Amino acid sequence: MPIKYDVPPRTILLCDYSKGGFKPPEMVKRRPVLAVSPRLRHRRGLLTVVPLSTTEPDRICDHHCKITINQPLPKFPATEMWVKADMIATVAFERLDLFRTDRDQYGRRKYLQPKISEADFERVQACIKAALGL
């Protein structure tokens, strides 16, 4: 089920790039992403994200950096991930979901909202600047 509200920057989500609109060599599959934009007034339903990969890039550039997360994500077992800031995108909430875990004692779904450290986020911001030539 897609998110309904903004999440704070540094939050890791799951993005479904396969829902029409994107074409190769753009991102076209489900992948973890990092929320990088703050909540902006008068911009409902959109969030700017950078994709994360469990695979090290063939050639590491200024728009890549490795970050560490506290616990593995469902279906993405690594605790180290690579930021792909050259693939930054503003996407609709419809594409974004929290990571689901098991259910609570009442049968309701439980969700993860992992965040990266402030230090890692500063490195991600530097990667974004490099990717955008700022």
pLDDT tens per residue, range 9-41: 999 999 999 887 888 888 888 999 999 998 888
Percent of the chain with pLDDT over 90: 61
Asked whether residue 4 is assigned to any structural domain, the reply reads: no
Asked whether residue 7 is assigned to any structural domain, the reply reads: no
CA terminus-to-terminus distance, the chain: 35
Give the model's pLDDT for residue 2. 83
Asked whether residue 96 is assigned to any structural domain, the reply reads: yes
Helix (H) or strand (E) holding 46: strand 46-53
CATH of the domain at 113: 2.30.30.110
In angstroms, the CA 113 to CA 98 distance is 7
Please say if the pLDDT value at position 1 is more than 80: no
Residue 59: give the domain boundaries. 12-132
Strands 109-112 and 30-35: unpaired
Smallest Cα–Cα separation from 80: which of 67, 70, 71, 91? Answer: 67
What's the structural domain count of the chain? Answer: 1
Asked whether residue 6 is assigned to any structural domain, the reply reads: no
Asked whether residue 5 is assigned to any structural domain, the reply reads: no
pLDDT tens per residue, range 84-97: 999 999 999 999 99
Give the model's pLDDT for residue 25. 85
In angstroms, the CA 18 to CA 128 distance is 23
What are the distances in angstroms from CA 17 to CA 49, 100, 133?
Answer: 12, 18, 24
Give the model's pLDDT for residue 24. 83
